[in-house]
Chain A
Amino acid sequence: MKKIMTTILLTLALSAGLSAQRVSISTNFADWAQLGTVNLALGVGISQHFSFQAGAKYNPWQFENEKQNMDLYIKQQCYHAGFRYWPWYVNSGWWLGLKGQYRKFSDTGIWRPAIEKVSAAGAGFSFGYDIMLGKHFDIELGAGVWGGKYLDYTLHKCKDCMEVRESGSRLFFGADDVIVSLVYIF
């Protein structure tokens, strides 16, 4: 985790220094919709067709749910970094992305009482489209999948019980996230 953090910070520092390149930050509203996950991503265009993306998500919030007598939360920490390929030009039009991601989250089930605690790492593939709004703003739409390995996975049956339904580590593959972001390009 520390390693990842430092990598990201380094990248940020680097990108601050690379002022000639196209630097952008974005924030994903779809993530915000997931019970207010704070997220930020940074992009640096390094050539006409490639950009470097890195970002982080953080959700510490917990919501009370009286009915189920269970709190509602999707707590997570997520760090990712990757590259995007833009067929036309960075920050405009279609893109394909490849990234590495580490995610640690715990959430309550929405449909049935359960508590999931996961820490996973893997690689993801995404694609999307950037709609240019103006000189500095884009709307980014995308979707991604990722797969990798659950480093540590525990599924509790209920909130307080420690009964474990499943645990262990295994490989997984699934949907990653939906991106509906606002991008600000410097």
Chain B
Amino acid sequence: MKTRSCFCLFQPGAAWAALAALLLVAGVTSCGTQAKLRKMQKDGPKARLELADDRSILDEMIKNPAVARDTLKIKDAEGREFLVMKAIRDTESGEMVAHETIDAAVVTARFRNVPEKQGKVDLQFQVLVPASMQDSKWQLRFYPDMYILDDVVGLEPVMITGNGYRKAQLKGYQQYNKFVSKIVNDTTRFIDLRNLEIFLKRNIPQVYAFKSDSSYVSDEQFFSMFGVSEQEAVDHYTNMRAKRMNERRRSKVDRMYAKYVKSPIVTEGIRLDTVIVTRAGDFIYNYTQTINTRPRLRKVDIVLSGDIYEQDELIYTIPESQPLTFYISSVSAFADNTERYLTKVIERRAEANAEYNVEFAQNRSDIDLKLGNNASEIAKIKQNLSELIRNRTFDLDSIVVVSSASPEGKVSVNQKISAQRGTSISRYFNDYIRHYQDSLVNNGALEVDENGKLSRMKVSNVDIRSRSNGENWRMLDYLVISDPNLTEGQKSRYSELSTVSDPDRREGLMKAEKSYAYISGKLYPRLRSTGFNFYLHRKGMVKDTIQTTVIDSVYMAGVQALRDMDYNLAISCLQPYADFNTAVTYIALNRDANALLILEDMEKTAKVNYLLAIVYQRRGDYQKAVECYLNACDKDSSYIHRGKLDPEISALIRLYGLHQQQD
């Protein structure tokens, strides 16, 4: 029995397994990076997101030479003056001392307020990669993810490539390019053209004859005298083997790409791919992303995750970092949501007309009840008047009495008579109206006023005026034309005569006509009428326009667009109204001059003051801006906190150290 004693370093089985495992890991990661990985796994990754100090507006303000940074004279709502300056408490004396520098803020918060501008928000944060995570052989890929409402949006990744990694990538490309360069694209390279040509010339000469004779096109195949075709000749003189090899190479291109270029250099769809040549310390990248806001979007969370690659193999997944939160604030939050109704212009005035025939004796202007139909006519007039006085919808403003006369006699006389008659009528009915109204009031008449309440009837002064129409020729013309009893001839004669300019002469000529008797008898009385024009207004109306209960949909659409941050639509709807919401829209659109015009004329509530502060700050008038802001805070202390959300106000707060005691 032989016993073998050997000094075996490696026991079979387990040792081999260990070796294999070691080789496996070592095959991918080398010794140096393994230690690094282990340390990272133990300590946890240190790549994270940070917020930078946002000094953009502040720096702009400081550049402005008009800024007197130390003190501002402010007048408050009661008119008292006081000074505002940036001050700190001196530790020795305990007093507040002016402090001129503006410290760089150390940002440790994990959230920031960002203002929305023109429907977009700028998110700015820093991606911080410590030196301990970087290695020449590694490529770090960082994926910032954005959580918006219910969506997760992947932002463009940031890649940090180690120098060694990049060199390996390039080498892969080199090898691939070498392979590709071996592929011949010119197929004639494989054909022995010289010999082929000689052969063809010798044995298939028709080919050459055909080729040089361009007047004759044919697909004919040519053969040598022994039946060898041109194609056979070409095939014979082609280096088939080389050709096949080339074809094979060509078909392997894609596979070769995958084999050599294990980790392609990505240029599309990533934010940054930087190669770290020297280990210079922590790597900080300022990442800016502009997103469109949506309605109801109040905050955005950003989280960083990443991977570490070595030789294009994932060796470590960096777990998610702590999130950064951006709270979106918008000027559109100031929109006033009260409903606005359409206004309607209602005719205040109404008119009513009536015509009555009150007869007068010739050349007399007094009212004689016993004359003709006067009794009934006057009764009718009285009834009409009383109805109008009692009317619930309308109030009588005034009455104009128009009296006219028939053409008999001279024009001047008729004019005077008709004026007198008008005056007497108006006087008569004025008395009547007064008496009637008094009786109503005395008897406790009630009426319903504009608010729907029953109240005692109010007596308003009714104005009766008279106007004289003189000889009413126009009515006569009308009556003649429409009278069925006159013949055509008579009518045409009448029209002829009516062209005579002097009415007296006209009348004289008409008297000569046969129709005169009829006209004067039947038609003239109708000319001696009195027209009553009643001017009324709707009861209870003091103004001409009233609010309806119909909602002004254009205005409300504008307000909705403003809340949805669709500012262009909002301004197109709201511009004609020129009210508070219009001003808010102008501010959101950076049209500060327009906003100022509207806001300056408005009553200075806290809201209006606050918006004015923003507008003044943008225009560079910092003194007024601080004044308005402080006044707004006095009226409504919630604006102290709102001020931090708007960058214009927060810059003022920082520059002048406002509200430091409250912090």
Q: Are A and B subunits of one complex?
A: yes
Chain A residues at the B interface, C-beta cutoff of 8 Å: 20-22, 45, 47-48, 88-92, 132-136, 185
- Which chain B residue shows the least CB distance to A49? B226
Q: Would you call A48 and B198 a contact (CB within 8 A)?
A: no
Task: Provide the residues of chain A in CB contact with B236, threshold 8 Å.
Answer: 88-89
Q: How far is the CA of A91 from the CA of B224 in the complex (A)?
A: 13
Task: Provide the residues of chain B in CB contact with A185, threshold 8 Å.
Answer: 202
- Which chain B residue shows the least CB distance to A92? B199
Question: What's the minimum C-beta distance from B196 to chain A, rounded to whole angstroms?
Answer: 10
Q: How far is the CA of A90 from the CA of B226 in the complex (A)?
A: 10
Given A88-B236, A92-B195, answer yes or no on A48-B202 (Cβ-Cβ < 8 Å).
no
Type the 1/0 row for B197-236, where 1 means its CB is closer than 8 Å to any CB of A.
0110111000000000000000000001111100000001
Q: Would you call A135 and B226 a contact (CB within 8 A)?
A: no
Could you jot down 17 A-B contacts, CB within 8 Å?
A20-B225, A45-B226, A48-B226, A48-B227, A88-B236, A89-B228, A89-B236, A90-B226, A91-B202, A92-B202, A132-B195, A132-B202, A133-B198, A135-B198, A135-B201, A136-B202, A185-B202
Task: Provide the residues of chain B in CB contact with A90, threshold 8 Å.
Answer: 226
Q: How far is the CA of A144 from the CA of B224 in the complex (A)?
A: 30
CB contact between A132 and one of B198, B224, B225, B226 (< 8 Å): that residue? B198
Given A20-B225, A47-B226, answer yes or no on A89-B203 (Cβ-Cβ < 8 Å).
yes
Task: Provide the residues of chain A in CB contact with B228, threshold 8 Å.
Answer: 48, 89
Tally of A-B Cβ pairs under 8 angstroms: 34
Question: What's the minimum C-beta distance from A171 to chain B, rounded to whole angstroms?
Answer: 38
Given A88-B236, A89-B203, answer yes or no on A21-B198 (Cβ-Cβ < 8 Å).
no
Given A88-B236, A132-B195, answer yes or no on A21-B202 (Cβ-Cβ < 8 Å).
no
Task: Provide the residues of chain B in CB contact with A22, threshold 8 Å.
Answer: 203, 225
Q: How far is the CA of A48 from the CA of B229 in the complex (A)?
A: 12
Q: How far is the CA of A36 from the CA of B236 in the complex (A)?
A: 38
By Cβ-Cβ distance, the 9 closest A-B pairs, closest first, are A48-B226, A132-B198, A135-B201, A135-B202, A47-B226, A132-B195, A92-B199, A88-B236, A48-B228
Question: What's the minimum C-beta distance from A133 to chain B, rounded to whole angstroms?
Answer: 8
Q: How far is the CA of A58 from the CA of B224 in the complex (A)?
A: 36
Type the 1/0 row for B180-208, where 1 means its CB is closer than 8 Å to any CB of A.
00000000000000010011011100000
Q: Would you call B225 and A89 a contact (CB within 8 A)?
A: no
Q: How far is the CA of A88 from the CA of B203 in the complex (A)?
A: 13
Q: How far is the CA of A23 from the CA of B374 in the complex (A)?
A: 153
Q: Would you call B227 and A89 a contact (CB within 8 A)?
A: no
Which residues from 228 to 277 on chain B have a C-beta closer than 8 Å to any C-beta of chain A? 228, 236
- Which chain B residue shows the least CB distance to A137? B198
- Which chain B residue shows the least CB distance to A45? B226
Question: What's the minimum C-beta distance from B431 to chain A, rounded to whole angstroms?
Answer: 144
Task: Provide the residues of chain A in CB contact with B199, threshold 8 Å.
Answer: 89, 92, 132
Task: Provide the residues of chain A in CB contact with B195, threshold 8 Å.
Answer: 92, 132
